[in-house]
Amino acid sequence: MFSLPLRDDAVLFPLEVRHAEEFAAHMDRAREHIRPWVGQAFVTDDLDGARGTLLRYAERQAADGARLYGIRLDGKLVGGVMFVSLDAVGGTCEVGCWVEPAAEGRGLVTPACATLIEWAFAERGLHRAEWHCRGDNVRSGAVAARLGMTLEGTLRESWPFGGERHDTQVWAVLAPEWRAAASAR
């Protein structure tokens, strides 16, 4: 197993099926907070659901697709980041995140997502990283902007939740843009 430090008190690590109990406990703290903003299949209600979500991502990773990583703050799972999709042949991926309320605003998500994007471009040779979020999810859009992504458009009323339909923003950064920004830093 490996983990990457995000800072002294926080690490990024592969979230695997063996973490199902920890993930279920985390979902108990995060569920209502994240439910409006993430895909409904991701939000689990019990240990079996947590196992199922982690197993789906393990199967996708085995097929060189989606991947799931947890963020631990002071040793406690408080959120995570993911490749919602990864298409090595097409050269694209979609990155996403979630955190429980106690982890919001703690500076964890942006560096964790930057780690995924850097890996996608430098190690996998992908060309485009996307970020999709509800149009009214200001915090999520702010992460995309901090990552140097450009808001490319809005998919009108494409996100069903709570009996209503919401807009989806599509943000993206291209590998040459990412490398140029890294050189400027």
Q: What is the 3-state secondary structure (H, E, C) of 139-161?
A: HHHHHHHHCCCEEEEEEEEEEEE
110, two tokens: 């942006």
Report the alpha-carbon distance of residue 81 to residue 97 in Å, rounded.
4
Q: Residue 169, Cβ neighbours under 10 Å: how many?
A: 21
Identify the CATH number of the domain in which residue 131 sits. Answer: 3.40.630.30
Q: Which residues constitute the domain of residue 172?
A: 4-184
Burial class of residue 149 (count of CB atoms within 10 Å of its CB; 0-12, 13-18, 19+): buried
- Domain total in the chain: 1
pLDDT tens, the chain, 185 aa long: 589 999 999 999 999 999 999 999 999 999 999 999 998 888 999 999 999 999 999 999 999 999 999 999 999 999 999 999 999 999 999 999 999 999 999 999 999 999 999 999 999 999 999 999 999 999 999 999 999 999 999 999 999 999 999 999 999 999 999 999 988 87
